[in-house]
Amino acid sequence: MTHPTCAACPEPAVYLDRVSGEHLCAGHLAERVEATFCETLRAPGGPARGERVAVAFSGGKDSSVLLHLLATAAPPALELVAITVDEGIAGYRDATIGVARELAARLGVEHRVVGFREACGRDLDALVEGREHRACTVCGVLRRRLLQGAARECGADRLAMGHCLDDEAESVVMNWLRGDLYRTAGARPNGGEGMVPRTRPLARIPEKEVVSYALLHDLAPELPECPYTRHALRAGVRGLVHRAEFRSPGTMARVVAGQADLEARVRGLLPPADFTTCPGCGEPVLGGSCRVCALLGSALEKH
């Protein structure tokens, strides 16, 4: 059996783009990932030269590729700090923190770890005891708060997230399923004092390409899976989106492009949500209620 060669050179192919039908070798796949990353990074809303960028860095493949690209391929001179959240998940997070420390040291990037226990008084395992089906909701709310707080405390101008194209498409579908009018219509909140703006430089790169790039650059160590993943709405949506992508390559890109078109068409029809200040914790919140205080309050009542 003849091994396919790269569409751009005589080298053996390692990747098939099912949308275009092109095969790519390791070098040209890496070039494409890096070019798409740089184009996205330079788009409006991205970091400017000399800015301090906090990187949400779990130690998994997506965030490892993000940190690697920011440290090695980003065109502007950026000052980086990697932030890892330790949720306190037994049998899972310790291993990923070790991997995160090693990669940050290899890249020469400052690394900080912030933990649920220190910030919230309890690990995630304790917070969701007896209601494990809500773990991903609780974790998501608290992780976002800790990442924002850590980015602000280290003086970051931007908070970079490792969301790839698959994540973007899944988020669009999740907003539809939840009936989230503001997010579905693309209404953006007014910037709140103390909020570090987020950027997603991998948002145009399919997860398959991110994983392939990770494997080619030694950024994909074997790690345990989070034990709470099976409870997440995203897990079911991911299966739905990936099945559609398999049957009709390009579906994810079309979903994301359709969302962008919808946002452009309805922009200005909905007023942006305004941040207010939570009287309990003093953090900026949307809608006048603080989900973090509500979650921690219910956990304390339970115990």
| Model pLDDT, residue 258 | 94
Which residue type does 185 have?
A
Evaluate whether the domain defined by 28-269 bears CATH number 3.40.50.620.
Answer: yes
- pLDDT per position as a tens digit, 223-272: 888 888 877 778 889 999 999 999 999 999 999 999 999 888 887 777 76
Q: Cα separation of 299 and 163, whole Å?
A: 29
- pLDDT per position as a tens digit, 34-43: 999 999 999 8
Report whether pLDDT(180) > 80. Answer: no
What is the pLDDT averaged over residues 53-79?
93
| Model pLDDT, residue 21 | 95
Which residue type does 43 have?
A
Residue 301: pLDDT band (50, 70, 90) is very low
Residue 189: pLDDT band (50, 70, 90) is low
Residue 288: pLDDT band (50, 70, 90) is low
First-to-last C-alpha distance (Å) of the chain:
63
| Model pLDDT, residue 40 | 94
Q: Percent of the chain, pLDDT > 70?
A: 92
Q: Percent of the chain, pLDDT > 90?
A: 57
Q: Cα separation of 126 and 129, whole Å?
A: 5
Nearest to 47 by CA among 204, 199, 192, 173: 199
- pLDDT per position as a tens digit, 3-14: 899 999 999 999
- Asked whether the beta carbons of 273 and 201 are under 8 A apart, the reply is no
Residue 277: pLDDT band (50, 70, 90) is confident
Nearest to 196 by CA among 288, 118, 81: 81
Domain locations in the chain as residue ranges:
28-269
- pLDDT per position as a tens digit, 88-125: 998 888 888 999 999 999 999 999 999 999 988 889 99
Collapsing DSSP to helix, strand or coil, 86 comes out as strand
Mean pLDDT for all residues in the chain: 88
